[in-house]
Chain A
Amino acid sequence: MTIQSVLVANRGEIAVRIIRAAKALGIRTVQVYSAADGDMLAVRLADEAINIGSPAPKKSYLNIEAVIDAAKAAGVDAVHPGYGFLSENGDFADAVVAAGMIFIGPSGDAIRLLGDKVAARSVAASAGVPTVPGSDGRVDTLEAARAVVEKTGFPMMIKAAAGGGGRGIRIVQTLADLEQQFPQASAEAAAAFGDGGLYLEKVITRARHVEVQILGDGENVVHCFERECSLQRRRQKVWEEAPAFLLPADIREKLCASAVALARAVKYRGAGTVEYLYDEDAGAFYFIEVNTRIQVEHPVTEMITGIDLVQEMFRVAGGAALSIRQEDVRVSGHAIECRINAEDPARGFMPAPGRIGTLEIPEGEGVRFDTMLYEGYTVPPFYDSLLGKLIVHADTREACLDRLKTALEGLKVEGLATTIPLHLALVDDDNVRRGDYHTRFLETWLETHFALPVTRKVEVA
């Protein structure tokens, strides 16, 4: 291992996860933190910690200069960006390398290429990966947009080329809609993102979100099978599973092979995820985007394959070839992850920062809790509301759901509101049990069903 020391350029549960992986490999850890995070668990666990600025992310975790200065001062060999913050910032990756250190992830060029949705779509298409029917790249004029729609039909999404995270998207149903919305969408995109570029994608009405975990060393690429992440709220995943249990075997094979082809085409290095929409009715899958980082939901893949993805990131970043051959990657059983957030599902998911009281964490076979929590810790209001991830693994999906229910009942986070009641309601839901849902299922379900389980939960408590 060429990496002897690492700076963790992140916070929360992923910082803890990275520190644990580094320690297992004998790597010295240096944790950066903001003025609001001096008492976070990652600071306590790291060998060294450096304050890089005030609570606002742009003045600390998003401040490239402050992070690079800390890495230089600490004399580390490498920087791990985690997810969010600077993890998909090509300029940050370049700055780390320019400062003489290893960026644990793909090159700045690969991040920029795959981060540009229009460019990534072109790369996917040229690697033979099916893309959602729509425009070939940017659409500059209304006439060109009309021509696209004549081929693909409605409903159609107008998307901002520079958008992301669900921002800058409009859905149009008719030609009149398109004519009215297209110029407005361009003006809005220009105002919001400094780039008025648009592209068009057909709306898949009952889509499932399926994504493939890949690992590359710059030459070789393997996939670690797929995850099913269709339970989403406001385009944020709340519950993830592996494998995607309803995917036919032949589709799974093509899906995973296409992700590998795409990653090979860009000589991908590190852990990444190729995201797809799967149209169950048509039995077809379409590329959406690549995430050039470790993802929140990586543990479900670890649970079914036995591969430590974060340790593998360290190895390939250090220059080693992949230690895993494709034929060695095998799926065992089923895994589900629930994101536990500091939000009150009974009050419209109102954020709930605050001090952690009694904390009881379930243990036992097939149960894992990745978290930043400890008793007495105060969850600050300045960052994401993710407190931890409860992951369970069992031989079958049904056994996994049963184990999940027991684990959720054994998880007590007192002192603030959490999304545990939401997951308890989901685990008992018939549609969820059957796996009968799609990417828009949860939002509707919350409107019509959530009040009952929450009320029942409160009465029982």
Chain B
Amino acid sequence: MTKLEIRSPLPGTFYRASSPETPPFKADGTAVATGDVIGLIEVMKTFQEIASDVSGANIRYLVDNEEPVMAGQVIAEVEQ
């Protein structure tokens, strides 16, 4: 089993859901397909969708909701 990383393409603030009232894009432990949206990055008051560039099982987020992230920082890991 290998672990694959999903990195943030931009610096900003990370969100796991599209609004505080909606469920997260992905729950911990679920599977992810390439192109699935796994979160949003708020950068300079705009929101950019973060799509997974890998597919795998058992996603584990390494960044909490509403936490600042750097460009290139690993947001989540999936198993393959």
Binding site for B on A (CB under 8 A): 36, 55-56, 342-343, 351, 353, 380-385
Contact = CB atoms under 8 A, between A and B. Distances in A.
Given A55-B68, A56-B66, A353-B11, A383 B45 contact: yes
Interface of B: 10-13, 42-46, 66, 68
B66 A381 contact: no
B45 A385 contact: yes
Nearest to B11: A381
Contacts of B43: 351, 353, 381
A15 B50 CA distance: 33
22 contacts: A36-B68, A55-B13, A55-B68, A56-B13, A56-B66, A342-B44, A353-B11, A353-B43, A353-B44, A381-B10, A381-B11, A381-B12, A381-B13, A381-B44, A382-B12, A382-B13, A382-B42, A382-B44, A383-B45, A384-B44, A384-B45, A385-B45
Nearest to A36: B68
The SS class assigned to the B binding surface is strand
Contact of B44 (A36, A55, A56, A385): A385
Contacts of A380: 11
Query: Which of A351, A380, A381, A385 has the largest number of chain B CB atoms within 10 A?
Result: A381
B15 to A, nearest CB: 11
Nearest to A379: B44
A343 B44 contact: yes
B68 A382 contact: yes
A422 to B, nearest CB: 16
Given A381-B44, A382-B42, 14 more contacts: A55-B68, A56-B13, A56-B68, A342-B44, A351-B10, A351-B43, A351-B46, A353-B12, A353-B43, A381-B10, A381-B12, A381-B43, A382-B68, A383-B44
A36 B68 CA distance: 10
A383 B68 CA distance: 12
Contacts of A36: 68
Contacts of A351: 10, 43-44, 46
A129 B10 CA distance: 47
A343 B10 CA distance: 13
A343 B44 CA distance: 9
Contacts of A381: 10-13, 43-44
Contacts of B42: 382
Contacts of A342: 44
For the complex of A and B, list the 4 residue pairs with the smallest distance between their C-beta atoms, beginning with the closest. A351-B44, A385-B44, A381-B11, A381-B12
Contacts of B68: 36, 55-56, 382
Nearest to A84: B45
Contacts of B13: 55-56, 381-382
A382 B12 CA distance: 6
Most chain B Cβ neighbours within 10 Å, of A343, A351, A380, A383 = A351
Contacts of A55: 13, 68
Contacts of B12: 353, 381-382
A385 B68 CA distance: 17
Contacts of B66: 56
A263 to B, nearest CB: 30
Nearest to A35: B68
Nearest to A349: B46
A381 B44 CA distance: 5
A385 B43 CA distance: 9
Nearest to A58: B66
A48 B44 CA distance: 27
A353 B69 CA distance: 13
Contacts of B45: 383-385
Q: Which of B12, B43, B44, B46 has the most CB of A within 10 A?
A: B44
Contacts of B11: 353, 380-381
Give the one of A36, A342, A353 with max B CB within 10 A: A353
Contacts of A384: 44-45
